[in-house]
Structure 1
Amino acid sequence: MLTPLQKTTIRATVPALQAHGDTITRTFYARLFAAHPELLNVFNPANQQTGQQARSLAASVLAYAEHIDRPGLLAPMVQRIAHKHVSLDVQPQQYRVVGQHLLDAIAEVLGEAATPDILSAWAAAYDELAALMIDTERDLYHTGTEQPGGWSGFTPLRVTRLTPESSVITSLTLERPGGEALPPYQAGQYVSVKVKVPGDDHWHIRQYSLSAAPNGQQYRIAVKREDGGVVSTHLHDRVREGDDLLVHVPAGDFTLRAGTRPLVLLSGGVGVTPLLAMLHAALTDTPQRPVTFIHAAHNRAAHAFGPEVRALAAQHPQLRTLVFYTDVQDTDQLGLPSHQAGFITAATLKPALPLDADYYFCGPTGFMATVEGILDELGVPVTRRFTETFGPSQQFILPAAALAAPI
């Protein structure tokens, strides 16, 4: 357990982390991958190249340092990271490797400022955080393995259907090769897919949201073809119906909460996938709950799952839909009242939004920042915002209620 003096030392390093956190985490990843190249492709290389992965780690380390006296506030951050680790099949022994390279990176970047007392305090802090993560992940692993139909690690699931959803997105329906039941999942969760691309010595792991309501027999994921994307290109160009893919049990903490308050689901691009599962769940589980489904896409060709959502709206009078096309083409036919041209703004959204609603939103980083700004402008409390960015989290926002709680 951290001593009072070590906690004081950790708190005193917060300004240094704010100033050098990105450099420290970039140095850490360079050291880690040089010593353990087999871990390189566990992480999306695009996120490494853009620095998103380093910023995500820096944000989590900074959140930990800032709240060292109130570790209970870190529960949302711990849960999100633990779910991601479990989906990657991270094992307890890997924490020691990571810890050593993180301390070495701190020492390298801070130089003489990294005194023995500082390094000792951070070693103790890391050990405490690692123990918390390992315990949390152990519970998730146990649940994944012991639940009906569950399994440990990655198991082969068969691609039984490939469905083009847009010009860049294709759905893959997955089933057990022997027809056995699949474990349930919560709307908003994802599965990890592990592939070995021809010509590459390493395995790659990517997460894909489950986009349909659970039925016990099938999982449906949607894959967007990314420019330069190693795994997405492989899945689009090489995988065929009848092929098997290695898949992890569902994980993820971005899930639909029970309730009767009006529900607003906002998605951008392929961020529609977890919200589509939430839409199915809300219409089925709480049919009296008003739902507004808002989606932004480049144009009709890039608009995935449009027919599916329109069919749901025709069947469920409590569902309202609104679509924004940001790059309108001549063939897009915006005649429908539910379709608009341009970007989402507070002015265009406000007439469609119910009062006192819960907001769930998902999409690329720019879309997420726009939605956060709009909700700020409209005065939506942070306690009614539930989010997930496609990519490593660049910040960890602690619940307002928790921040206001006494120590």
Structure 2
Amino acid sequence: MSLTYRQSTLIRGSLPMLRSQGETITSSFYASLLSAHPELHNIFNSANQATGRQPRALLNIILAFAAAPNHTAELIPRLERVCQKHCSLGITPDQYDLLGKYLLRSFGEILGDRYTTELREAWEKAYSLLARMLIGREEQLYRQFGKWTGQRLFRIEDKVAEADDIYSFYLWPVDKTPLPLFTPGQYIGVRIDVPEIGYLQTRQYSLSESPREDYYRISVKRDRGVPSGANGRDIDAAHLKPGLVSNLLISDYNIGDTLSVSHPAGGFGFDSSAAGGMGPLVFLSAGVGATPLMSILNTVLEAPDVQQQISWIHSSRRKPLFEEHIRTVGRRHKNFHSRFWRSVLADQEQRDARSPAWDSVCESMRSEMERVDRSVLGLDHGAAEYFICGPDAFAASVRHFLLEQGVGESRIRVEWFSTGELEAR
């Protein structure tokens, strides 16, 4: 089943108006959906709803797919991110039907008389095509999860202060059965009740230790707040919405408490069978973005007789995360290089993709990167691999710098903090 030429033409003709009214569509769509189905509050990320990130990300993907449904190669990485996140949340096929119903209804409200029966049927078909693609991939992932496709109970066996406002939680399965070995760089979903809003909320946290069968480790940063608007302007503290789940985990959950956890997921990662290869590995992180990279690094270091050059480059506003561990690694491995610097950019998690401050963020990060020796960055080695994680502005600017230096896109892997808006720029 595919779109006819006529249907594709009709859809393309409606795209300019739908794109120009994106904010109206997403706010109307989600308001109607959640009013009719309040149970979905337990699934949707309330912070991303408040900032408009999640609705915008969904709409952008749907419009991009509809514009060229037979040429989706460029969309595949974004679609994979969506599928991985959906499986972490436990999304089911019937929920796609609900999303489609209210989304296409909002299209009709915007297009008015232009939303003819013929155009509506074309959009229904386009949405069905996309939904089938996503559902098919998610079914594959659920099969890979095996018996663990829902929530599993874990007990907090240890809680360690790592750096300013960052704590590591050591999670052991209550049922004591061996844990699946995840891909280093993946995340788990942690679901808790949030009394402030009256719903369950799930947040994804990167696993910060190498794979093992007895426990998982996550490292959580206290969230001081995100802008309650979506315009990307600097907002004073009185207008920030502090993080719900991360802050509750840090303030209310301690050793002996239990958490509901979903199966490890995520497309970002490192093939552990390649550990011990010869190409340099370069890890670039900011703030709590060091967490998935630490899982990869520790996995690499567990390989016997590691010979390859490894560089750890980290930006933080205050005390670097895992600093003592990194310095210990440096003393033990002669081919290991580390570089730390202080920067407010490490805390720019919520900088909007359309912010006028974007250019200054990129320029500041470029200046920092230019101070790092080319050999440490592996820029003169055609087989160097780069792993980046941090606030979206940081990750996007570092990626752009590497591309400017001639690094091939296939050698750069990025874990985006949020919905990947900057990835789509």
Q: Do they superpose with TM above 0.5?
A: yes
Alignment of 1:389-404 (within 5 A): 389-394=416-421
Letter of the aligned partner of 1:290 in structure 2?
Q
Gap runs ≥5 in structure 2 = 225-241, 345-363
Q: Residues 261 and 289 of structure 1 are in contact (CA less than 8 Å); yes or no, is this contact kept in structure 2?
A: yes
Cα distance, 1:92 vs structure 2: 0.9
Aligned to 1:239: 253
Q: Describe the shift of the 1:87–1:296 C-alpha distance in structure 2 as closer, same or farther (beyond 3 A).
A: same
RMSD: 2.2
Q: Distance in 2 between matches of 1:317 and 1:15?
A: 56
Deviations 1:251-276 (A, max 9, x none): 00011244642221111111111111
Cα distance, 1:232 vs structure 2: 1.2
Q: Describe the shift of the 1:117–1:47 C-alpha distance in structure 2 as closer, same or farther (beyond 3 A).
A: same
Cα distance, 1:56 vs structure 2: 1.2
Aligned to 1:334: none
Is 1:304 the counterpart of 2:321 in the alignment?
Answer: yes
Q: Give aligned-pair identity as a percent.
A: 37
Aligned to 1:177: 174
**Partner SS for 1:345:** helix
Q: Describe the shift of the 1:7–1:261 C-alpha distance in structure 2 as closer, same or farther (beyond 3 A).
A: farther
Q: Residues 392 and 422 of structure 2 are in contact (CA less than 8 Å); yes or no, is this contact kept in structure 1?
A: no
Q: Residues 181 and 217 of structure 1 are in contact (CA less than 8 Å); yes or no, is this contact kept in structure 2?
A: yes
Aligned to 1:251: 265
Cα distance, 1:394 vs structure 2: 0.9
Deviations 1:1-57 (A, max 9, x none): 122322333334443343233432232222222222221242322222222112211
Alignment of 1:32-111 (within 5 A): 32-111=33-112
Between 1:218-227 and 1:191-200, the stretch displaced more is 191-200
Q: Residues 282 and 289 of structure 1 are in contact (CA less than 8 Å); yes or no, is this contact kept in structure 2?
A: no
Is 1:325 the counterpart of 2:342 in the alignment?
Answer: yes
Cα distance, 1:285 vs structure 2: 4.0
Q: Residues 268 and 362 of structure 1 are in contact (CA less than 8 Å); yes or no, is this contact kept in structure 2?
A: yes
Is 1:291 the counterpart of 2:321 in the alignment?
Answer: no
Q: Residues 197 and 231 of structure 1 are in contact (CA less than 8 Å); yes or no, is this contact kept in structure 2?
A: yes
Aligned equivalent of 2:203, options 199, 202, 206? 206
Q: Distance in 1 between matches of 2:168 and 2:371?
A: 30
Letter of the aligned partner of 1:279 in structure 2?
L
Q: Residues 59 and 395 of structure 1 are in contact (CA less than 8 Å); yes or no, is this contact kept in structure 2?
A: no
Q: Distance in 1 between matches of 2:401 and 2:377?
A: 12
Between 1:198-207 and 1:6-15, the stretch displaced more is 6-15
Aligned equivalent of 1:375, options 379, 389, 402? 402
Q: Residues 18 and 110 of structure 2 are in contact (CA less than 8 Å); yes or no, is this contact kept in structure 1?
A: no
Q: Describe the shift of the 1:218–1:6 C-alpha distance in structure 2 as closer, same or farther (beyond 3 A).
A: same
Letter of the aligned partner of 1:247 in structure 2?
V
Aligned to 1:128: 129
Q: Distance in 1 between matches of 2:173 and 2:179?
A: 7
**Partner SS for 2:270:** coil
Cα distance, 1:119 vs structure 2: 1.7
Cα distance, 1:281 vs structure 2: 2.1
Between 1:370-379 and 1:178-187, the stretch displaced more is 370-379
**Partner SS for 2:159:** strand
Q: Distance in 2 between matches of 1:178 and 1:318?
A: 41
**Partner SS for 2:10:** helix
Q: Distance in 2 between matches of 1:164 and 1:186?
A: 25
Q: Residues 22 and 58 of structure 1 are in contact (CA less than 8 Å); yes or no, is this contact kept in structure 2?
A: no
Q: Describe the shift of the 1:315–1:39 C-alpha distance in structure 2 as closer, same or farther (beyond 3 A).
A: same
**Partner SS for 1:317:** coil
**Partner SS for 2:302:** helix
Cα distance, 1:137 vs structure 2: 0.8
Q: Give the TM-score normalised by structure 2.
A: 0.83
Letter of the aligned partner of 1:126 in structure 2?
Y
Cα distance, 1:375 vs structure 2: 2.1
Q: Residues 60 and 395 of structure 1 are in contact (CA less than 8 Å); yes or no, is this contact kept in structure 2?
A: no
Cα distance, 1:200 vs structure 2: 4.5
Q: Residues 152 and 173 of structure 2 are in contact (CA less than 8 Å); yes or no, is this contact kept in structure 1?
A: no
Q: Give the TM-score normalised by structure 1.
A: 0.87
Between 1:289-298 and 1:70-79, the stretch displaced more is 70-79
Q: Residues 86 and 251 of structure 1 are in contact (CA less than 8 Å); yes or no, is this contact kept in structure 2?
A: yes
Aligned pair count reads 379
